[in-house]
Amino acid sequence: MESSSAIIEIRPGTGGDESSLFSAELFKAYRNYSVKKGFGFTVLDSSPTSLGGFKHVVFEISGNGVFDLFKNEGGVHRVQRVPKTEKGGRVHTSTISVAVIKKATEKDVQINPADLRIEFFRSSGPGGQNVNKRETAVRIIHVPTGTVVTAQTERGQESNKQFAISILRSKILEETRKKEGIKAQEERRSQIGSADRSEKIRTYNFPQDRITDHRIKKSWSRIEKIMDGNMDPIFEAFSGK
C-alpha cells in the first residue's frame, strides 16, 4: 500500500457542549486506533474547551495506506445519548463534522515564501486563556488564495510554523484538484456540510449500543469498545474484507 498521510479536522456541529465532548471522544478513538496500528499521530492544531471537549482539532496520521483507510471518515457524524449534564434522562442528538485531506508534499505544491503573511501569538487553552508566555502559536495567511491556517501545539515557534505550512500545502493541493475537476475543496465542503442533524454518514446510538453507517447500511454493536479505538470492524467493512 502507498505510504500516504492524512490530515484530519474535527469540528462540533449542533449540540453545544455535547457536540464538543463527542469531538474529543472521536479524536481519541482515531488516536487509539492509530497507536494500535503503529501509525504516526501528531496534533497540529487544537482549541480545547473547559469541559474536556474541542472547539476544533486538526491532526496528522501517517503510515502505509492511511489516507485510503480514513478517507471514508469524512462527513457528518451523529451521536444519540443522554449527556452527563442531562438531569432528566433525555436522549440528545448532536453532530460533529470530520474532514479528511490527503497530505501534500513539497513536490506536490511549491509555496513562494513571498506569498505568505505569518503571525505569531500565544497558544490558548480551555476558555481561550493564553497558556504560553511566549508567542509560539502560528497563523499563516496565503495571500493569493486567502487561505488561513493555524498551528498551536505548545511546541516551539519553528515547529508550529512547519506544521502550519504542512496544513496549508495540503489545502492548496485540495483547491488545485478542485479546479482541475478532481474534487477537493468541494469534497471537503460536502464532507463538512452544515453539520445539520439530517446530514449524516454515521450514527452512534449509545442507548441501543449501535453504530450505523448510513452509506453502506451496516451496523455494529459494542460501541464502547469501538470508541476505545477498536475500529477494525468499520474500516474492514469499507475495504471489503
Whose CA is closest to 157, among 215, 118, 103? 118
Distance between start and end Cα atoms, the chain:
15
Written as nine digits, the cell of 144 is 493569493
Strand partners, 82: none
pTM: 0.77
The answer for residues whose C-beta is within 8 angstroms of residue 212's C-beta and 6 or more apart is 202, 203, 205, 218, 219
Task: Let me know: does 70 contact 63? Beta carbons within 8 Å.
Answer: no
Residuewise pLDDT in 10s, the chain (241 residues): 445 889 999 999 999 999 999 999 999 999 999 999 999 999 988 889 988 999 999 999 999 889 999 999 999 999 999 987 777 888 999 999 999 988 887 778 888 889 999 988 877 656 555 555 567 888 999 998 888 998 887 567 888 888 888 888 888 887 777 676 555 556 666 666 655 555 699 999 999 999 999 999 999 999 999 999 999 999 999 987 5
**Domains defined along the chain, listed by start:** 6-106+182-235 (3.30.70.1660), 113-179 (3.30.160.20)
